[in-house]
Structure 1
Amino acid sequence: MASPRLTIDVWADVLCPWCYVGEHRLSTAVARSPHAADIELKIHTWQLDPNVPTEVSWIPEYRVAKFGVTPDQARAMEIPVATQAAADGLPYALERPVRNSLDMLRLVHLGNQHGVGRQYMSAMHAALFGGNSDAFEHDTLVRLGEKLGIPADEIRDVLATGRYADAVQADHDAAVALGARGVPFTVLGERFGIPGTASTHQYTAAIDQAWEQING
């Protein structure tokens, strides 16, 4: 099989709402591209905040504690991205669980070993931003992975150990070396970078430009 003619690398965190919206828009842009069959999307991890507690809390109380804002202000912080998500037809729960994302990101690397890392992160995004109160539970993560063909015993082994923690750090370091300061961070054809979330139209234009530049 011929190698894909355009590779798109994306760095993201499961906790990142703009990554959730951005991944949907980018996937839509790729699907609409006349070159879709020759485009490969690769997912990389970036942990936005390693200091998020490992105990599950809820996003309003987490924002109150982290930013020192009132509950109303914490809720207001969610509105801009919730509005964007709704415009794209994506579920977006203002009341949702939050927890340190390292375990999930390590599982994304396991997913990459099985060729479904991006799909695994998308499934985690859907569970989390859809408001599933059990989004961080091991049984939930096993169930999502199994649906993608990842053996349950491999998932549980990763969750019980520190496997792929070094891969999460390596992904972060690689993105920083490319100039990333946060996520989502997208690189097309190893040369065109897009920091932050773009519109579907902007992703489409970037794909067209990268394709033309790389393939003449």
Structure 2
Amino acid sequence: MKIEIWSDYVCPFCYIGEHRLAKALDDFPNKDNVKIEFKCYELDPNAKHMPDGDYYSMLANKLGITSEQAKQSSENLAEQAAELGLDYRFDKMKPTNTFDAHRLAKYAEKIGKGKEMVEALFYAYFTEGKLISDHDELTELAETVGMEKEDAVSVLACNEKGRRVREDEEQAREIGVQGVPFFVFNEKYAVSGAQPPEVFKQVLEKVEEEEQAKPHLQTLTPDGSETTYCTDEGCEIKRDQS
């Protein structure tokens, strides 16, 4: 089974959604045969690399609410995250551009470190309060998941390494992704948002059932047509009796 996940590293529901899916997979009998592919999505491609203010002021300006309302909303999110063992520190978060983080994650995926890099980026942003657009910070994160420092520096220095990020984003537009997280199972079923583990479990079971079902062939030969075929006993022509 293949699961594609479109997400952004500054999206609080993306981190929650990923872990809710992981929780559903913990109880899934065939989880070892599930392949997860992380896809890139920028919530704000025009976001500045250096934050203008803290998370609360950014959220208040974006939603047209007061800073106090922004704090209350964030606290509610933090409680949801805590249920999954995630520590959201909104007071430390630095809203920023995520393009370079996505570029590094795509390279990490190429060398078999994709999942580790994704988790490191989420943790760095939501818990540690790191500026995940800063190349020095990104390089250090790359090293923590086993990437060579020189490779990380090279990737971040080359703008052409963003092609795979743009391909993911173009694919998202083609299939109608309007927000993240967005999950696609076997290129057939889509789940939008950080759904409860029970929802993911139902989808996993449905896709698994379809994968294991034997294909049922339907005869499309027109009624009354002549059927010509050969067997090990010879060749003959028969009129279809269906």
Q: What TM-score comes out, normalization by structure 1 length? A: 0.90
The answer to whether the aligner puts 1:80 opposite 2:82 as a matched pair is no
User: What residue is the counterpart of 1:30 in the other structure?
Assistant: 25
**What CA distance in whole angstroms lies between the structure 2 residues aligned with 1:135 and 1:48?**
15
The answer to whether the aligner puts 1:123 opposite 2:106 as a matched pair is no
Contact 2:89–2:128, Cα closer than 8 Å, also in 1? yes
Which of 48, 55, 60 is 1:53 aligned to?
48
User: What residue is the counterpart of 2:231 in the other structure?
Assistant: none
Match for 1:111: what amino acid? A
User: What residue is the counterpart of 2:5 in the other structure?
Assistant: 10
Shift of 1:178: 1.7
Provide the identity percentage.
28
**Higher mean Cα deviation, 85-94 or 53-62?**
53-62
Root-mean-square deviation (Å) = 1.7
Shift of 1:135: 4.6
**What CA distance in whole angstroms lies between the structure 2 residues aligned with 1:152 and 1:171?**
25
Question: Relative contact order: is structure 1 or structure 2 higher (C-alpha 8 Å, sep ≥ 6)?
Answer: 1
> SS of the counterpart of 2:184?
strand
- Aligned residue runs from structure 1 range 1-216, under 5 A: 6-56=1-51, 57-95=53-91, 96-216=93-213
**What CA distance in whole angstroms lies between the structure 2 residues aligned with 1:145 and 1:132?**
16
> SS of the counterpart of 1:15?
coil
Match for 2:139: what amino acid? V
Q: 1:15 to 1:134 in 2, by over 3 A?
A: closer
**What CA distance in whole angstroms lies between the structure 1 residues aligned with 2:83 and 2:4?**
25
Higher helix share: 1
**Higher mean Cα deviation, 160-169 or 200-209?**
160-169
Contact 1:120–1:145, Cα closer than 8 Å, also in 2? yes
Shift of 1:136: 4.3
Contact 2:4–2:39, Cα closer than 8 Å, also in 1? yes
Aligned residues: 211
> SS of the counterpart of 1:164?
helix
Shift of 1:32: 2.4
Shift of 1:103: 0.9
> SS of the counterpart of 2:159?
coil
> SS of the counterpart of 1:173?
helix
Provide structure 2 residue ranges, at least 5 long, that are not aligned to the other structure.
214-242
Shift of 1:198: 0.9
**What CA distance in whole angstroms lies between the structure 1 residues aligned with 2:130 and 2:122?**
13
User: What residue is the counterpart of 2:232 in the other structure?
Assistant: none
**Higher mean Cα deviation, 183-192 or 58-67?**
58-67
